[in-house]
Structure 1
Amino acid sequence: MILYPAIDLKDGKCVRLLRGEMEAATVFNDDPAAQAVSFEEAGCRWLHLVDLDGAFAGRPENADAVEAILSATSLPAQLGGGIRSMATIGDWLDRGLARVILGTAAVRDPDLVREAARSFPGQIAVGIDARKGMVAVAGWAETTDISALELARRFEDAGVGAIIYTDIDCDGALQGPNVEATAALANAVTIPVIASGGVSSLDDLRALRTCGAPLNGVISGRAIYDGRIDLVEAMALLAD
């Protein structure tokens, strides 16, 4: 399993939210590029980037910060938030992103996901963010009537590289991930699943590693910044 340290971007800074609330943002680093470098120096293999402002605006809003990260580190990075057109997808991949995450677009424009997956094999991920099992979009501001499992199954034959599953009620709360729902989703589809939301300890990582589902990896943010999870120990645990 791969550990994906999260860099969530708001107003050009590295922040973490509590259950997706923009008003509950905590700034952890004014220099996202420096944060990315520290993750690389610790031995991380990937970066998970989120343009929080872009998710609400429907267009990239933290491009400068993302570009600074890509310039400062050699790590492959995946980015989500406000990416809703082929032109934007192509532009970001040309700038050096390894993978683009489509969330709101997966619900509102599924044909875009399919076209992108065909045009950029392995470089498109679907972000499925769920509140009580139902998919939320537009920066988690709107909850749909589509279940996370239903949405995942819609893209089984699309050729997407990964599904990033986030339980919103767990995100940033440091109370543990929704292991049961994550495992159920991963066992229901053949697309690699990355777990996200609520990871607060090495025990949480162990629970996901032994959940009975073939998870690709896990995203963690606040617990790393707070020092609750030691990156070296976490990566060793997931590699075991």
Structure 2
Amino acid sequence: MIIFPAIDLKDGQCVRLKLGDMDQATVFNNDPGDQARQFQDQGFEWLHVVDLNGAFAGKSENTAAVDSILKNTTNPVQLGGGIRDLKGIEHWLEKGITRVILGTVAVRDPQLVKEACKAFPGRIAVGIDAKGGKVAVEGWAETSELTTVDLAKQFEDAGVAAIIYTDIDRDGILKGLNIPSTLELANATSIPVIASGGLASIEDVKRLLQPDCAILEGAITGRALYDGRLDPNEALGLIAAAKAAGEKEC
């Protein structure tokens, strides 16, 4: 189980949105590079980064902030938001991004996702953001008619490294992860699924360590870390203990 701390970028700053609304952004750090370094120092081993401006604009907008993040952490970074063509994917992978997340383009042009998976094996993830059970696009501003499972099945044999599933109705409001919907998706596809949206406390981490969640690759957390509701040492300690117990049983 991997906990992915999140850095959401808006106008070069680390923010958290409420329910995906750009007008409800709270700034938590003016220095994204510093935030990336803090997360690494806390013991996290991955980083989840989203260019919020880019998601709306359809092209990368927080390039300097992402560059600063890459300079300040040795952890692998997955990046999404506004990356919608092979040139953009290649650009970020060459810069040092470990995994590029494709969201809107996965709905608009699924063939491009498949081409990207062939060109960059193991380095393409698909972001599936759901609102009312339907896939949202364009920075969550529009809702499609696709269900999350329908979209995931389009990429079943494409070589997608992971699906990041976000429940927009819970994002940024600390209501807890939508475990039933996340597990429904994970059980409908062979692609590893990462839960996102609403992780609120250590209780969510404990829930993720239950046997039925073993199918998940991990979960993303943002606001709970920033406002202190989730203690990094406690969360990572629980995960390490669960891993050690599992290895002992084997």
Map of 1:116 onto structure 2: 116
Map of 2:222 onto structure 1: 221
- SS of 1:184's partner is helix
Equivalent residue runs for 1:45-124 within 5 Å: 45-124=45-124
- SS of 2:92's partner is helix
CA contact (8 A) 1:179 1:211 kept: no
CA contact (8 A) 1:6 1:47 kept: yes
Instruction: Give the drift of 1:235.
Output: 1.5
Moved more, 32-41 or 203-212: 203-212
- State the identity as a percent: 60
Equivalent residue runs for 1:162-173 within 5 Å: 162-173=162-173
Q: Normalising by structure 2, what TM-score?
A: 0.95
CA RMSD, Structure 1 to Structure 2 (Å): 0.8
What is the rounded CA distance, in whole Å, between the counterparts of 1:145 and 1:49 in structure 2? 27
What is the rounded CA distance, in whole Å, between the counterparts of 2:75 and 2:86 in structure 1? 24
Instruction: Give the drift of 1:238.
Output: 2.5
Map of 1:183 onto structure 2: 183
CA contact (8 A) 1:104 1:137 kept: yes
Map of 1:28 onto structure 2: 28
Map of 2:2 onto structure 1: 2
**Deviations for 1:186-229, whole angstroms, at most 9, x for unmatched residues?**
11111000000000001112222326140001000000001000
What is the rounded CA distance, in whole Å, between the counterparts of 2:5 and 2:220 in structure 1? 6
What is the rounded CA distance, in whole Å, between the counterparts of 2:128 and 2:221 in structure 1? 16
What is the rounded CA distance, in whole Å, between the counterparts of 1:60 and 1:129 in structure 2? 19
The runs of at least 4 aligned residues of structure 1 exceeding 2 Å deviation read none
Instruction: Give the drift of 1:72.
Output: 1.1
What amino acid maps onto 2:54 in structure 1? Answer: G
- SS of 1:219's partner is strand
- SS of 2:150's partner is helix
What amino acid maps onto 1:114 in structure 2? Answer: K
Instruction: Give the drift of 1:141.
Output: 0.2
What is the rounded CA distance, in whole Å, between the counterparts of 1:42 and 1:154 in structure 2? 37
Map of 1:235 onto structure 2: 236
**Deviations for 1:142-170, whole angstroms, at most 9, x for unmatched residues?**
00000001101110010010000000000
What is the rounded CA distance, in whole Å, between the counterparts of 2:34 and 2:193 in structure 1? 28
Structure 1 spans left out of the alignment, 5+ residues: none
Map of 2:245 onto structure 1: none
Instruction: Give the drift of 1:30.
Output: 0.2
Structure 2 spans left out of the alignment, 5+ residues: 243-250
More helix by share: 2
- SS of 1:186's partner is helix
Instruction: Give the drift of 1:128.
Output: 0.1
- SS of 1:114's partner is helix
What is the rounded CA distance, in whole Å, between the counterparts of 2:106 and 2:189 in structure 1? 16
What is the rounded CA distance, in whole Å, between the counterparts of 1:208 and 1:39 in structure 2? 20
Map of 2:248 onto structure 1: none
Q: Normalising by structure 1, what TM-score?
A: 0.99
What is the rounded CA distance, in whole Å, between the counterparts of 1:232 and 1:217 in structure 2? 17
What amino acid maps onto 1:223 in structure 2? Answer: A
What amino acid maps onto 1:29 in structure 2? Answer: N
What is the rounded CA distance, in whole Å, between the counterparts of 1:233 and 1:215 in structure 2? 20
- SS of 1:23's partner is strand
- SS of 2:3's partner is strand
Map of 1:142 onto structure 2: 142
What amino acid maps onto 1:138 in structure 2? Answer: E
